[in-house]
Structure 1
């Protein structure tokens, strides 16, 4: 099979695999999908060169179109953790089906398998996330985006790395943000100050108001993770001055005043409501196009 490809393309492909995954998995991929002998695969890795840009369809990319072939490829990459019972085989099978269905949904004229490293990197980074349905969905969408010429020009391995850092709560928060009419949440918190205003106590809880006018406490750990990854930004003291958001800030203010009145704390201090906004960054917007 590998004799059907030019030496230049094979150099490119092997170098990309070498960059992204461990040698053992690369050898298995070369022997299964490109008919290398094990010795030939090992020799190719010894002589690996830095890849130059190259566009060509490849066997690995095409394998992802088939649930059966995709499952076989995943079995190679995931074999250590499947053997260790870190993930269940049913999750792996579900993931393979998602990938093949989503890639199959990309119009043939837009399918571009010239970047196998992106798919391999996403598969590698998804290994410990497959027990969560939403994260399986996100990774499958990212892999499909990587073979879609309408989306893959600006995708880098960072996208998969970021997904690998998310927990279930982080992924759910991003999904809720994606479902908003605009990629932002109005938010507020309570601040108490003395009458002179030269000292204050700030409540740690921040609350947001979504498109359904539901008020929810912002998960602080999730905000910290998503900010550190560059996906969102919490802008405290900033106010979205638009009619639809004014109503939400009013709801937040009413809720927080009521919450304060029900508390016995800080009764002798002056109450202020500090408006905020939780917004999607430019990187977050680009990521959303690939995972939703």
Structure 2
């Protein structure tokens, strides 16, 4: 399948809205919106294809681009999805990406939330290993501890974010095998955790606990890192 065939496939599905235009005028509006998204997708895909040097271009595998084109139809509204699908399809046409490509990447894209993709982008700008924490509470009366916030991850040093904002994203990325999280070790440079220790929500919880004197709030420090699969996914679909 070539680019034009794939785009024609998307256009044919969008054209289904014509069958419903007399039933519900909103379908016409939706079709117009989808045509705009498809044109943006086409522009992005064309750019990525043109960036491939002539000597590195190859005929893509149908087992990758057919499912990718078919699936992309349902994700064109979101910029993060458009970019990932465009890069996945373009990478199938680039022999430099053969060593990094994997059929599983299509399933990964379909199971990602746009926020997951934003987190993955942060690994493009930072070292592969990043700081992560759990916010924990320990009673001063009994033994044991409880995790108040699991996988507390601050993105792009944004201290205004809710500690729970990316917990589910980290859990999902871990489930997909893209990242691994460990609290058995921590980053050597302690300053990497300053953003967590100075986070307003953590400071508020710690202040409240200190005033009451019955519990201790502390951070369990850890590391989040890309797996080999995650590094390949970034090279193909994110970078």
- The residue number in structure 2 matching 1:282 is 228
Query: Residues of 2 paired with 1:257 and 1:153: CA distance?
Result: 43
Bigger relative contact order, structure 1 or 2 (CA pairs below 8 A, ≥6 apart): 2
On the 8 A contact 1:213/1:248 being kept in 2, the answer is no
Query: Given the alignment of the two structures, is residue 128 of structure 1 paired with residue 61 of structure 2, yes or no?
Result: no
Query: Residues of 1 paired with 2:204 and 2:15: CA distance?
Result: 49
- The residue number in structure 2 matching 1:175 is 121
- State which of 149, 160, 178 in structure 2 corresponds to 1:204: 149
Query: Given the alignment of the two structures, is residue 192 of structure 1 paired with residue 137 of structure 2, yes or no?
Result: yes
On the 8 A contact 2:206/2:216 being kept in 1, the answer is no
Relative distance call for 1:115 and 1:94 in structure 2 (3 A) is same
Q: How far apart are 1:190 and its partner, in Å?
A: 2.2
Query: Given the alignment of the two structures, is residue 147 of structure 1 paired with residue 93 of structure 2, yes or no?
Result: yes
Q: How far apart are 1:280 and its partner, in Å?
A: 1.1
Residue deviations 1:32-53, cap 9 Å, x none?
xxxxxxxxxxxxxxxxxxxxxx
Tell me the TM-score normalised to structure 2 length: 0.80
Greater Rg by CA:
1
- The residue number in structure 2 matching 1:76 is 9
On the 8 A contact 1:188/1:275 being kept in 2, the answer is yes
- The residue number in structure 2 matching 1:222 is 169
Q: How far apart are 1:109 and its partner, in Å?
A: 0.2
Task: Give unmatched runs, 5+ long, in structure 2.
Answer: 18-26
- The residue number in structure 1 matching 2:24 is none
- State which of 165, 175, 178 in structure 2 corresponds to 1:231: 178
Query: Given the alignment of the two structures, is residue 156 of structure 1 paired with residue 102 of structure 2, yes or no?
Result: yes
- The residue number in structure 1 matching 2:208 is 263
SS in 2 for 1:150: helix
Within 5 Å, give how 1:92-103 maps onto structure 2.
92-103=38-49
On the 8 A contact 1:183/1:279 being kept in 2, the answer is yes
Residue-pair matches, total: 220
Relative distance call for 1:114 and 1:73 in structure 2 (3 A) is closer
Query: Residues of 1 paired with 2:193 and 2:169: CA distance?
Result: 22
Query: Residues of 1 paired with 2:185 and 2:204: CA distance?
Result: 22
Query: Residues of 1 paired with 2:213 and 2:35: CA distance?
Result: 57
Q: How far apart are 1:104 and its partner, in Å?
A: 1.5
SS in 1 for 2:220: strand
